Amino acid sequence: MRELLCSSTTPHKKIRACGSAQDGDLCRGGIILYMLPDLQLNDHLRLKKPHPCGSYEWTVIRLGADIGLECKGCQHRVMLTRRELVKRMKANLTIREENKEEAK
Written as one string, the DSSP assignment of 29-74 is TTEEEPPPP---TT-EEEESS--TTS--EEEEEE-SSEEEEEETTT
- pLDDT at residue 10 tops 50: no
Same domain, 98 and 59: yes
Full domain range(s) for residue 50: 44-103
- Please tell me whether residues 57 and 9 are part of one structural domain: no
Predicted confidence (pLDDT) at residue 17 exceeds the cutoff of 70? no
Rounded Cα distance between 99 and 88, Å, is: 23
Q: How far does CA 58 lie from the centroid of its chain?
A: 12
| 20 and 56 co-located in one domain | no
Q: How many helices (H) and strands (E) does the chain have?
A: 2, 8
**How many domains, the chain?**
2
| DSSP state, residue 17 | T
Residue 15 predicted with pLDDT over 60: no
Q: Over the stretch 52-102, which tens digit does the pLDDT of each residue have?
A: 999 999 999 999 889 999 999 999 999 999 999 999 999 999 866 556 667
- Nearest Cα neighbor of 68 from 56, 57, 49, 81 is 81
Interstrand relation of 26-28 and 31-33 (parallel, antiparallel or unpaired):
antiparallel
Q: Are residues 29 and 51 in the same domain?
A: no
Of the two residues 31 and 78, the one the predictor is more confident about is 78
